[in-house]
Amino acid sequence: MAACGLDFGTSNTTLGHDGPDGPTLLPLEGAHRTIPSAIFFELGREPIIGRAATAAYVEGRSGRLMRGLKSVLGTPLMEEATPVGRQRLRLRDVIARYLTAVKARAEAASGQSLDSVVHGRPVHFVDGDPEADRRAEDTLRDIARDVGFREVSFQYEPIAAALDYERQVRAEEIALVADIGGGTSDFSIVRLAPERRGRPDRAGDILANDGVRIGGTDFDRQLSLGTVMPLLGLGSPMRRGDLAVPNAYYHDLATWSAINRLYNPKTLREIDEVIRDGARPDLLARLREAVEGERGHALAGAVEGAKIAASERDATVLDLGLLEPGLAVPVDRATLSAQTGDLARAVAARIARCLAQAELTADRVDALFLTGGSTGLPHLRAALTAALPAARVVEGDTFGSVGLGLTIEAVRRGA
């Protein structure tokens, strides 16, 4: 059986196999070896995935865009059904359709039938709930089998990233791997060395694992709630009593995996009642426009883009013209840090937990290996490096290290 490593992420997905030159990631969308974890359902057509899915939505084609689906694993939402055209699909079935398409593209690119998979998983799908965590892994295993993988096993994502990093290690060292993805932040402390590569049992080299259910989409949500949603009425008062408008609509609108729950006549009727009783109907009208026009994903995408731009260029303008001509809000690094600083500190605090688990002091860690798209956030990166001031900072393949490590592990397990 041909083996592969699959990194199904909250934001992006990769799939690798053992190619002529060793473990390699396969092209999944044109020449791209990463594909956004997005799917677009258009009435009467086959689902579209990846960049093409987002493009179809942005073009205004009639249909339903879904992103951030991995974040519902282990939650009751997993078995909920969502309207897709004239049918209702469970979210687990939506994930299955997405992964079916990814697997078919990988098989076309490799010329092989991929029967065995090492699936990446976060250290914790759900924080502080072992039963929900087990349920999430079981669900992902069942989905993998449903899409055609006959043998399914798992590896922690930061361990996989460590296996990728180990290929460049020239002497024994202790590394802390920080994999900061779209939905979770995961950490492992691992002993690495050239002579340890390929050993069938690396359990003794894994000194600590920890993680937290905070990732890039959480930073998006907090930035949106702090800068955008007040322009749509969040926190504004009702006309009578000492009450603010209900905030549930705004939290759903700022959360990738929850946006579609707003798109129904009942929610619009409720918002109309809030507009009638609210003190700022001008702001609430923007909320209605976002929901009625199903512009939630475009809004979330604009926030995500502003987060990235502020990280790279220090300052940007978040254009909200899709809701009202000329509407915009400035976002700079100071704003980003102020709105999401608590998240950055909560992520970095896991390093201390890992060190305690490994019974190591910070100065014993030789390298801090960074991978995952959210490592590009300056204030988060600063919090991570401050926790290990003596460690050498090593940049991984932002979106590929985990997938390559899972492929290395798949080759080893299939040997």
Q: What CATH number does the domain containing 357 carry? A: 3.30.420.40
Three-state SS string across the chain, please? CEEEEEEECCCEEEEEEEECCEEEECCCECCECCEECEEEEECCCCCEECHHHHHHHHCCCCEEEEECHHHHCCCHHHHCEEEECCEEEEHHHHHHHHHHHHHHHHHHHHCCCEEEEEEEECCCCCCCCHHHHHHHHHHHHHHHHHCCCCEEEEEEHHHHHHHHHHCCCCCCEEEEEEEECCCCEEEEEEEECHHHCCCCCCHHHEEEEEEECCCHHHHHHHHHHHHHHHHHCCCCEECCCCCECCCHHHHHHCCHHHHHHHCCHHHHHHHHHHHHHECCHHHHHHHHHHHHCCCHHHHHHHHHHHHHHHHHHCEEEEECCCCCCCCEEEEEHHHHHHHHHHHHHHHHHHHHHHHHHHCCCHHHCCEEEEECHHHHCHHHHHHHHHHCCCCEEEECCCCCHHHHHHHHHHHHHHC
**What's the rounded mean pLDDT across residues 85-107?**
92
Q: Domain for residue 164, yes or no?
A: no
Q: Do 190 and 226 fall within a single domain?
A: no
What's the pLDDT tens digit per position in 361-400?
999 999 999 999 999 999 999 999 999 999 999 998 989 9
Number of domains in the chain: 3
**Is 351's pLDDT higher than 60?**
yes
Q: Domain for residue 125, yes or no?
A: yes
Over the chain, what is the mean pLDDT?
94
Task: Provide the domain limits for residue 247.
Answer: 217-338
pLDDT-derived band at 1 (thresholds 50, 70, 90) equals low
Q: Do 255 and 331 fall within a single domain?
A: yes
What's the pLDDT tens digit per position in 165-194?
999 999 999 999 999 999 999 999 999 999
Q: Do 290 and 259 fall within a single domain?
A: yes
> pTM here?
0.92
Last residue of a domain, one of 338, 359, 377: 338
